[in-house]
Amino acid sequence: MSASLIERFDLFTIIVLGEVVVGVVNGIADAGRTPSAIVTGILGLGIGFAYWWSYFDFVAASRVRSDRGAVARWLVGHLAVTMTIAATGGIMVSMVEHVPRSPTAAPAAMLLSVSVAVGALALVLVATSLANWQSKAPVYRPVAAALVTAAAVALLLGWLAPPPWLHILLLMLTLGAVWIFGSLTWFSYARRVR
């Protein structure tokens, strides 16, 4: 797979991440710009940032193995990543609008959680297709396990359906914890390899 195609997929992912910002802004506008809607919206941006950090720190701009299965996993994984980011942005409108009502409408909460869970699992799928998946297994395997755990936590939160601001905060903290864990794992690996 050419470097230019990989770069184009990375740029497309940036564009789709803008959907989270649009969803938050539309949700705040529809909710009447109340303080609780603004705080919930800002927390929703945190989910977008956590997607951004995880994608670009763990799988972006990386060469893909040349075998057909790896290329197929890379393409399908990217499709799922961009679809779940777009779904997260779209559901942010509903989540921010439901701030005055507690708890969130169950379908909106579950849809947000499923989006985050599938997005985390799609990042694992993309990572398994990378050329350095085997050579950097001490980094990728623990990060993949953390992403699978984050997916399970996201689904549990969707089932529990806490109030919107708390739901979004907990999802943001879950994704943020994966990113921090992954970053520390990378730094530790880089120090050992020197």
**H helices within 60-163, ranges in order?**
68-97, 106-128, 137-160
State residue 35's pLDDT score.
82
Q: Report which DSSP code applies to 129.
A: T
CA distance 20 to 41: 10
Distance between CA atoms of 190 and 49, rounded to whole angstroms? 24
Q: What is the pTM of this model?
A: 0.89
pLDDT tier at 80, thresholds 50, 70, 90: very high
Residue 9: in which H helix or E strand, if any? helix 3-30
- The mean pLDDT value for 40-60 works out to 88
- Torsion sign across C-alpha atoms 123, 121, 164, 13: positive
* pLDDT tens column, 129-183: 999 998 999 999 999 999 999 999 999 999 998 888 899 999 999 999 999 999 9
Q: Which has more pLDDT, 10 or 140?
A: 140
Whether omega for the bond prior to residue 164 falls within 30 degrees of 0, making it cis, is no
Residue position matching structure tokens 């997916």: 151
Reported residue count of the chain is 194
Residues 6+ away with beta carbon under 8 Å from 162: 103, 104, 109, 170
Average confidence score pLDDT of the chain: 88
Q: Is the pLDDT of residue 185 over 80?
A: yes
Q: Are residues 117 and 160 in contact, defined by beta-carbon separation less than 8 angstroms?
A: no
